[in-house]
């Protein structure tokens, strides 16, 4: 891992979050917001490590923008903006929660303060800290707000062109004894707080895909899409990044062929129970022998 490239990726991540806060207001169309955020990352000389996640209310993760479907953001909505920035496959992963109604402030604070408490602990204890220590801190902090952590969503390590690598970093108390100092790779910590059940399940919406393996496929449009998909080198992608010269029907049919043949797979939107609200805060850390624990994105600056 190149520390200097990761720092540059983190800097672009922070700039992207500030840009997102500037353009996201009640009444905006999230389909256009998503495209603008991804374009902003490209303009900065990087590439989205995945289509920006724009998950609303009880959606915790994996929703994104659909250029063929308007989605207007309402004043009472709770929006999670999860950004991945890749420079030559070196990835930083970060997220913020955007609200407009003060009744959701406690929810937003719960995930952010859980991440902040984790960072404070790791700064002092990065040489000895275990994954289990972080899970306990996150769960306890979120419960202090009278809310629940999402138990089946976790933080994770990152590798070159790998957005989610092992080991995972649970947001609840656990028995994982791995020390953060045993790994040289960056890792993302992402507490989710919820007013719901504390568990997410898969919804029906599919907007994010990933290459699984090469297999024979007859449809010529599917073959054409596959060649484009390979350029992402295994990172997640949006259907709106590919097949731009095809009709919407042809592109969707070709995607279905690739899914059916298990050449690609989807990341369904992850949701808590109806009527609940979920918040998220996330940054990417790395441990350097020279500099100690580094917050590559800067969680404090995201909130300023």
Return the active site residues: 82, 93, 156, 164, 190, 282
Residues 6+ apart with CB under 8 A from 239: 207, 209, 251, 252, 255
- Check if the beta carbon of residue 199 is closer than 8 Å to that of residue 237: no
Residues 6+ apart with CB under 8 A from 39: none
Query: Where do the H-state alpha helices sit in 44-82?
Result: none
| Alpha carbon distance 159, 166 (integer Å) | 9
Residue 243 is classified by DSSP as: -
200-227 b/e with 16+ CB inside 10 Å = b? beeeebbbbbbbeeeeebebebbebbbe
In the chain, beta strands by DSSP E: 47-48, 53-56, 59-61, 78-87, 90-99, 148-149, 154-159, 162-170, 187-189, 192-194, 201-211, 237-238, 264-271, 278-280, 283-288, 292-295
Phi, psi of 169 (to 5 degrees): -130, 95
Residues 6+ apart with CB under 8 A from 182: none
Q: Which of 123, 48, 122, 59 is nearest to 280 (CA)?
A: 59
- Check if the beta carbon of residue 301 is closer than 8 Å to that of residue 12: no
Q: Which of 163, 282, 127, 266 is nearest to 208 (CA)?
A: 266
Q: Which residue has the tokens 């369904």?
A: 268
């Amino acid at each position: 891992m190149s520390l200097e490239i990761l720092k540059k990726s983190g800097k672009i991540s922070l700039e992207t979050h500030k840009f997102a806060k500037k353009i996201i207001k009640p009444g905006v169309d999230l389909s256009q917001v998503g495209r603008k955020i991804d374009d902003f990352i490209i303009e900065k000389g990087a590439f989205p490590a995945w289509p920006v996640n724009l998950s609303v209310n009880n959606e915790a993760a994996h929703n994104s923008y659909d250029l063929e479907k308007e989605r207007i953001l309402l004043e009472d909505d709770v929006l999670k903006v999860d950004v991945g920035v890749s420079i030559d496959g070196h990835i930083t992963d970060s997220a913020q929660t955007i609200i407009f109604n003060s009744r959701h402030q406690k929810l937003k604070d719960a995930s952010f303060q859980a991440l902040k408490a984790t960072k404070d602990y790791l700064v002092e204890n990065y040489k000895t800290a275990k994954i289990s220590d972080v899970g306990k801190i996150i769960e306890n902090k979120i419960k202090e707000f009278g809310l629940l952590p999402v138990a089946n969503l976790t933080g994770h390590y990152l590798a070159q062109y790998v957005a989610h690598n092992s080991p995972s970093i649970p947001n609840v108390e656990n028995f994982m004894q791995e020390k953060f100092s045993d790994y040289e790779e960056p890792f993302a910590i992402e507490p989710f707080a919820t007013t719901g059940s504390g568990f997410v399940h898969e919804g029906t919406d599919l907007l994010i895909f990933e290459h699984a393996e090469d297999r024979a496929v007859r449809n010529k449009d599917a073959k054409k899409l596959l060649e484009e998909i390979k350029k992402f080198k295994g990172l997640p992608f949006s259907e709106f990044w590919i097949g731009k010269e095809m009709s919407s029907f042809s592109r969707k049919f070709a995607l279905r062929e690739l899914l059916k043949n298990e050449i690609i797979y989807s990341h369904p939107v992850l949701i808590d129970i109806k009527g609940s609200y979920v918040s998220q805060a996330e940054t990417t850390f790395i441990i350097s022998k020279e500099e100690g624990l580094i917050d590559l994105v800067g969680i404090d600056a995201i909130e300023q």
